[in-house]
Amino acid sequence: MSSHKPQKPATKTVTAGRKASLTGPVVNVPVWRASTHLYENVAELEAGKARNEDGRFFYGRRGSPTQWSLADALTAMEPGAHGTMLYPSGVAAIACALLSVLKAGDILLMTDNAYDPSRSLADGFLKRFGVETRYFDPRTTDYDALFCDRTRAILLESPGSLTFEMQDIPAICAAAKKRNVVTLLDNTWATSYFHTALDKGVDMAILSCTKYIVGHSDVMMGSVTTHDKLWTKLRQTAQQLGQTVSPDDAYLASRGLRTLSVRMKAHETSALHIARWLQTQANVATVFHPALPDCPGHDIWKRDFTGSSGLFSFIHTGDAATAAAFVDALQLFGIGYSWGGFESLALPVQPEKYRSVVAWDKPGTLIRLQIGLEDTDDLIADLGQAFNGS
Ligand SMILES: *Cc1c(COP(=O)(O)O)cnc(C)c1O
């Protein structure tokens, strides 16, 4: 049933990763639990050692058809990609992607709005192993000034997951390519469904699958998708570090992927509706959502992305205690980390703690919302009663 016509993203989320020869003639890939491959004889055992490719079961740590099916599906979502490695969390994916390209003496450039654990990896682990990290303003346009002879890699995140600055990914990647600098993008906010990364020039597209791919707040997982030039390095690093995900988790992530398109569209519509409502509220100073025309970076979002997800933030005009009382008063929104599941979440955030080069000194208190799949009338009623009470 394979077709040579390029499929639209929503079709890919449904069809990609199905391979009857590997997973059987069924819609959903079976959960293939296995550590040990039994060989017919010693010659077969010896022959197996030389093979390191998907489609040949070797040993559980290298995955089974359940994990390969998910990895293939994520690869298919990124035009120009050669393969995808899976990791037990998004943080493990970021760490292994960086470790597969960096060595002692290298300089890593990191956007100043990067996810906090990415910064802590750079400032702790990578520093101990001789890699220096330099942070840069996510909105810089002077790309050439970023690089020096020791620059080896650049970690991007667009939009940032607290303050939602957009980066000009194609321009940064073009500047990096001229200097042989590897570009890595944390693409968790949009996923490859709303933003394909490799065709914009990114070398490694990283996802915390824990968020939208899994979509049901019940599995931790990460992925890195790359082209043929970096594939072997990425794969070897993951294998040397013993990175593996369970077939049960891979199954749940595959199951999540099949409904990604409808969930993303629902998150998008509801989040935009609520973001626009918040803009009319007296206790709201600013809403940070790149799909709003008055939000900085909107032009980049419009040019490069095909949609927006359910995560954005706004400044509550009150101080930290007032904003905490507002969040505490919410009944439908849970208070908690993570996002990308079906449930709405709210959280006061303090970006000033995670900045090196661009200070965050806006008055008021930043609150991040993840808009889930509840009815927006109910969510707005909940936000309204919390504003009235705080
Ligand atoms: C959550 C998150 C991660 C890390 O993912 P985990 O699966 O929680 O380890 C990485 N990047 C961003 C932007 C995230 O929000």
Would residue 170 count as lying in a domain?
Answer: yes
Using CA atoms of 256, 261, 262, 268 in order, give the dihedral in degrees to the nearest 10.
Answer: 110
In a domain, 251, yes or no: yes
Q: Catalogue the active-site residues.
A: 61, 115, 186, 211
Where do runs of H (alpha helix) occur along 24-182?
42-49, 65-76, 90-99, 116-121, 127-128, 169-178
Q: In this structure, are 250 and 332 located in the same domain?
A: no
Same domain, yes or no, for 222 and 274?
A: no
In this structure, are 178 and 303 located in the same domain?
no
| Structural domains in the chain (count) | 2
Q: Is 313 in the pocket of ligand 1 (CB under 6 A)?
A: no
> Nearest to residue 254, comparing CAs of 13, 6, 4?
13
Single out the residue of 211, 117, 206, 136 nearest to residue 175, CA to CA: 136
> Is 90 near ligand 1, meaning CB less than 6 Å away?
yes
The pLDDT tens digits along the chain (390 residues) read 445 678 999 999 999 998 888 778 889 999 999 999 888 999 988 888 777 666 778 888 889 999 999 999 999 999 999 999 999 999 999 999 999 999 999 999 999 999 999 999 999 999 999 999 999 999 999 988 999 999 999 999 999 999 999 999 999 999 999 999 999 999 999 999 999 999 999 999 999 999 999 999 999 999 999 999 999 999 999 999 999 999 999 999 999 999 999 999 999 999 999 999 999 999 999 999 999 999 999 999 999 999 999 999 999 999 999 999 999 999 999 999 999 999 999 999 998 888 888 888 899 999 999 999 999 999 999 999 999 986
Pocket test for ligand 1, best of 116, 163, 210 (most atoms within 8 A of CB): 210
Cβ–Cβ < 8 Å for 83, 71: yes
**Which of 258, 291, 318 marks a domain boundary?**
258
Report the SS3 class of residue 313: strand
Answer whether the bond into residue 159 is a cis peptide, omega within 30°.
Answer: yes
DSSP state of 126: I
Distance CA 230, CA 202 (A): 12
The answer to the question of residue 341 being in a domain is: yes
| 3-state SS, residue 156 | strand
CA angle centred on 102, ends 97 and 105, rounded to 5°: 160
Q: Look up the domain containing 374 and give its range.
A: 260-389
Q: What CATH code is carried by the domain that includes residue 385?
A: 3.90.1150.10
pLDDT, position 1: 46
Residue 241 lies in a domain: yes
Residue 209 CA: nearest ligand 1 atom is 7
In this predicted structure, what is the pLDDT of residue 4? 67
pLDDT at 186: 98
> Per the domain annotation, does 271 fall within a domain?
yes
- Number of the ligand 1 atom closest to the C-alpha atom of 157: 13
Q: Is 115 in the pocket of ligand 1 (CB under 6 A)?
A: yes
247 and 375 together in one domain: no
* pTM listed for this prediction: 0.96
**Same domain membership, residue 269 and residue 225:** no
- CA nearest to 283, candidates 383, 374, 202, 189: 383
Question: If you take atom 7 of ligand 1, which residue's CA is the nearest one?
Answer: 90
CA angle 231, 134, 83 (to 5 degrees): 10
d(CA 258, CA 284): 36
